[in-house]
């Protein structure tokens, strides 16, 4: 670890403290813990979208099979809040790809072979898997994730639209998108007697997993230990216990052996959540000078038969632009499909595509520069609640981003620039993400040699959280970072909130800062345990957002229709940047996922089977290195003392909010073709 000046680690580009462990292979991921005598499990997933499982038969002559579990023989579970964790309990099949049996065997190969050769007796029923804006079963949910009202309205949007000098009325659709962390969801379950269970599990919060698994198994949550020391990505899909954790636990119970279960890549497309497809209608009404008079945003999305997950697609529109008359709403339909869940900026990412592309369409209709249009509609306070912003530097991001990107002098007309076979264009879109903090507890212990150990059950899902937390602790203690060790990723450590909602650093850092300051105040002796709950609750999360602006240059091949993105730039105002190296990595990581969303990624549904036909990394195209050219992020140093002791805002998700719209707006500028159905495939451009 690079040494830093004592008390001055924050703001420096400290390299990942666990980097050497990761590159030398010493860092252990969930499925890599060396447990003796482990058996291996493989999932059997439903080949139909709806039906009844009558029987499961396995060839008794197969070698090495220890158990084949299904609802006919699996241990009885209590019902946890999440019905997806109530595995192997019922004959009802709710979606194709649902786990309906589990094979446990001596080796991975034996388990896989047996799983592939089981004979399933299924009574198939007709299924309904296609999301449509006119689906007869659409309804308005009570709330949308994570607790917002499903609808909002002010003034009379219909009358204002009818009276507006210029209007835009557009429908954008976004496809199902799939979380593909490098490390799949995986669990090793080890029992010690009947009441103590240890799970080495890949997740975004050990304390999110333990209670749900305990509930299902009828255990005292304090006796379920969950270890997640290193996590190879999650993007939201590991934010709560997934079926693999419960499956491994019951398999270990039944066989009396530790059991290792790593989900194969294809299973991730159905078993761990995905981003719902959306159908979004946005209407904008404006005066000729660009002043917005009306905004409406209506979103349609899907959930499963098992569980209502209502994504907050239109919520982002409540925060962006001033307009006296406005309405947002969400409608949902429960289909015979897997349950959608969190995927990086759930709601904001698809919602911002529709809003920011519609703004680009309005700018063109008005003959006003798209940056200028946004600046003219900058609100003084939260557009709907009227709450003051603690800090909002959206306009500065647009202006300074434009300066750095080289926006000035842009010819606004589409399809005017050609370089050989390539049409060339540029586009812009806004970015925002809420700045949240959640209660957490940290412990700081003075060690005899003068060093300090900090403990908190946080997780580092690849973001660099462990490193930034080390910097926060070191500065609060007045020590060099080399004198601080931060231990994370274990329910035996003090309770911490989820690595989600871009809230990890603010939440865990707040608790660590408190523990370390108190340890310093008492002369660096003994141990301090600090619970941030009261402070976090007193401050609340209202009116707090990070903002940004994304800029893209694209080249579209006139012969093939392929889109290249030679430049992608994000300018952010996200509070104090605690580590410029890991922050830049978060920003451009989000932007890269945004590039995938704009151009490549889509779950292609086969309505006959109810499955995505492209359920692996060969066919589901996430951006590869060759797709990502000159990508960069910069930021305004934003001071906001209303946030948390570090003055930071979340940065993990904002990079995917608006970056797809910037690319799509650039595609239009290059070609004159509006892509309103994502992604911008070649066949849609030509
Ligand atoms: Mo993120 S979708 O909040 O883990």
Predicted pLDDT of residue 283: 98
Predicted pLDDT of residue 541: 80
Spatial separation of the C-alpha atoms in residues 266 and 344, rounded to whole Å: 20
CA of 204 to the centre of ligand 1 (A): 9
Mean pLDDT for the stretch of residues 123-141: 98
- CA geometry: angle at 545 spanning 594 and 465, to 5°? 65
Q: Quick check: 231 pLDDT over 90?
A: yes
Predicted pLDDT of residue 569: 98
Mean pLDDT is lowest, of 494-498, 582-586, 625-629, for 625-629
- CA geometry: angle at 683 spanning 682 and 685, to 5°? 65
pLDDT band at 79 (very low <50, low <70, confident <90, very high): very high
Q: What is the mean pLDDT of the chain?
A: 97
| Per-residue pLDDT reduced to its tens digit, 31-71 | 999 999 999 999 999 999 999 999 999 999 999 999 999 99
Mean pLDDT for the stretch of residues 161-177: 98
Mean pLDDT for the stretch of residues 224-246: 98
**106: annotated active-site residue:** no
Predicted pLDDT of residue 2: 61
Atom of ligand 1 nearest to the CA of 461: 4
User: What is the separation of C-alpha 20 from the centre of its chain, rounded to a whole number of angstroms?
Assistant: 27
Spatial separation of the C-alpha atoms in residues 391 and 428, rounded to whole Å: 22
- Nearest to 589, CA basis, from 357, 345, 407: 345
Mean pLDDT for the stretch of residues 534-547: 91
- Nearest to 495, CA basis, from 114, 258, 221, 242: 221
Atom of ligand 1 nearest to the CA of 239: 4
Q: Two tokens at 533?
A: 């709950």
Mean pLDDT for the stretch of residues 581-586: 98
CA of 435 to the centre of ligand 1 (A): 13
- List domains and CATH numbers for the chain: 19-29+437-539 (3.30.365.10), 33-126+182-233+238-271 (3.30.365.10), 143-177+275-435+542-685 (3.30.365.10)
Predicted pLDDT of residue 674: 98
Helix axes 465-477, 504-521, angle to 10 degrees: 30
pLDDT band at 1 (very low <50, low <70, confident <90, very high): low
Q: Quick check: 596 pLDDT over 80?
A: yes
Give every CB contact of residue 19 below 8 A, 6+ residues apart in sequence: none
Q: What is the DSSP string of 600-633?
A: T--B-EETTTTEES--STTTS-PPPGGG--EEEE
Complex prediction ipTM: 0.97
Task: Show the DSSP H helices in 344-492 as ranges.
Answer: 348-366, 370-376, 394-405, 465-477
Spatial separation of the C-alpha atoms in residues 457 and 501, rounded to whole Å: 17
Spatial separation of the C-alpha atoms in residues 675 and 598, rounded to whole Å: 9
pLDDT band at 463 (very low <50, low <70, confident <90, very high): very high
Question: Is 321 within 8 Å of 374 (Cβ atoms)?
Answer: yes
Q: Two tokens at 258?
A: 């530790």
Q: Two tokens at 221?
A: 């949550």
Mean pLDDT for the stretch of residues 318-338: 98
Atom of ligand 1 nearest to the CA of 237: 4
Spatial separation of the C-alpha atoms in residues 485 and 117, rounded to whole Å: 49
- Ligand 1 lined by 239 (C-beta under 6 Å): yes
In three-state secondary structure terms, 27 is: coil
Which mutation among 181, 242, 309, 342 tests ligand 1's pocket best, with the greatest number of atoms within 8 A of CB?
Answer: 342
Element (H, E) at 443: strand 441-446
- Ligand 1 lined by 434 (C-beta under 6 Å): no
- Ligand 1 lined by 346 (C-beta under 6 Å): yes
> Residue 339 half-sphere exposure, CB side, CA atoms within 13 Å?
21
DSSP one-letter code for 139: B
- Nearest to 627, CA basis, from 670, 668, 680, 678: 680
- Ligand 1 lined by 514 (C-beta under 6 Å): no
- Nearest to 41, CA basis, from 85, 105, 118: 105
| Per-residue pLDDT reduced to its tens digit, 93-109 | 999 999 999 999 999 99
Atom of ligand 1 nearest to the CA of 345: 2
CA of 502 to the centre of ligand 1 (A): 7
pLDDT band at 248 (very low <50, low <70, confident <90, very high): very high
| Per-residue pLDDT reduced to its tens digit, 259-316 | 999 999 999 999 999 999 999 999 999 999 999 999 999 999 999 999 999 999 999 9
Q: Quick check: 543 pLDDT over 90?
A: no
Give every CB contact of residue 390 below 8 A, 6+ residues apart in sequence: 543, 544, 640, 642, 643
Predicted pLDDT of residue 540: 85
Predicted pLDDT of residue 3: 62
Q: Two tokens at 579?
A: 């580590």
Question: Is 309 within 8 Å of 146 (Cβ atoms)?
Answer: no
Question: Is 341 within 8 Å of 309 (Cβ atoms)?
Answer: yes
């Amino acid at each position: 670890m690079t040494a830093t000046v004592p008390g001055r680690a924050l703001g420096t580009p400290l390299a990942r403290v666990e980097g050497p462990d990761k590159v030398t292979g010493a860092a252990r991921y969930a499925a890599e813990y060396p447990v003796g005598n482990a058996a291996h499990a493989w999932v059997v997933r439903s080949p139909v979208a709806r039906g009844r499982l009558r029987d499961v038969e396995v060839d008794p002559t197969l070698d090495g099979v220890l158990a084949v579990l299904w609802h006919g023989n699996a241990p009885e579970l209590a019902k946890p809040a999440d019905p997806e964790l109530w595995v192997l309990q019922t004959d009802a099949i709710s979606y194709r790809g649902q786990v309906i049996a589990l094979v446990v065997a001596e080796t991975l190969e034996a388990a896989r072979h047996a799983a592939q050769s089981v004979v399933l007796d299924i009574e198939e029923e007709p299924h309904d898997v296609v999301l449509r804006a006119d689906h007869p079963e659409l309804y308005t949910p009570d709330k949308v994730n994570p607790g917002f009202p499903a609808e909002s309205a002010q003034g009379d949007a219909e009358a204002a639209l009818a009276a507006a000098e210029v209007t835009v009325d557009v429908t954008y659709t976004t496809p199902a998108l799939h979380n593909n962390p490098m490390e799949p969801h995986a669990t090793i379950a080890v029992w010690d007697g009947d009441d103590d269970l240890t799970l080495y599990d890949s997740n975004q919060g050990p304390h999110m997993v333990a209670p749900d698994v305990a509930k299902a198994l009828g255990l005292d949550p304090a006796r379920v230990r969950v270890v997640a020391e290193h996590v190879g990505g999650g993007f939201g899909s590991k934010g709560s216990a997934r079926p693999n954790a419960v499956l491994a636990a019951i398999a270990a119970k039944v066989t009396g052996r530790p059991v290792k279960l790593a989900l194969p890549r294809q299973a991730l497309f159905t078993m761990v959540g995905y981003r719902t497809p959306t159908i979004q209608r946005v209407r904008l009404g404006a005066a000729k000078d660009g002043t917005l008079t009306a905004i409406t945003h209506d979103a349609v999305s899907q959930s499963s038969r098992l569980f209502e997950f209502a994504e907050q697609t239109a919520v982002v529109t409540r925060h962006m632009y001033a307009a006296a008359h406005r309405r947002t709403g969400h409608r949902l339909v429960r289909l015979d499909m897997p349950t959608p869940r969190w995927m990086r900026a759930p709601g904001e990412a698809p919602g911002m595509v529709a809003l920011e592309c519609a703004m680009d369409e309005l700018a063109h209709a008005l003959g006003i520069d798209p940056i200028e249009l946004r600046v003219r509609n900058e609100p003084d306070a939260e557009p709907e609640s009227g709450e003051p912003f603690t800090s909002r530097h959206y306009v500065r991001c647009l202006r300074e981003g434009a300066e750095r990107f080289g926006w000035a002098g842009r010819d606004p007309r589409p399809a005017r620039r050609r370089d050989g076979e390539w049409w060339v264009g540029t586009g812009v879109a806004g970015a925002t993400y809420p700045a949240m903090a959640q209660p957490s507890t940290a412990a700081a212990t003075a060690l005899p040699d003068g060093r300090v150990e900090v403990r908190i059950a946080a997780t580092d899902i690849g973001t660099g959280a462990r490193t930034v937390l080390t910097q926060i602790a070191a500065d609060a203690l007045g020590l060099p970072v080399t004198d601080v060790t931060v231990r994370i990723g274990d329910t035996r450590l003090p309770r911490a909130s989820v690595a989600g909602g871009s809230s990890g650093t603010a939440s865990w850092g707040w608790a660590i800062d408190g523990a370390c300051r108190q340890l310093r105040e008492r002369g660096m002796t003994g141990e301090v345990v600090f619970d941030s709950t009261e402070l976090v609750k007193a401050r609340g999360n209202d009116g707090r957002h990070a903002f940004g602006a994304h800029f893209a240059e694209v080249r579209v091949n006139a012969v093939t229709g392929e889109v290249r993105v030679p430049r992608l730039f994000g300018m952010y105002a996200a509070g104090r940047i605690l580590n410029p190296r890991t922050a830049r990595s978060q920003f451009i990581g989000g932007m890269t996922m945004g590039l995938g969303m704009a151009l490549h990624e889509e779950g292609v549904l086969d309505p006959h089977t109810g499955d995505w036909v492209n359920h692996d990394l060969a066919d589901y195209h996430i951006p590869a290195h060759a797709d990502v050219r000159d990508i960069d992020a910069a930021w305004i140093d934003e001071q906001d003392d209303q946030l948390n002791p570090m003055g930071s805002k979340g940065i993990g998700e904002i990079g995917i909010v608006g970056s797809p719209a910037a690319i799509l707006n650039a595609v239009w500028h290059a070609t004159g073709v509006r892509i309103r159905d994502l992604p911008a495939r070649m066949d849609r451009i030509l």
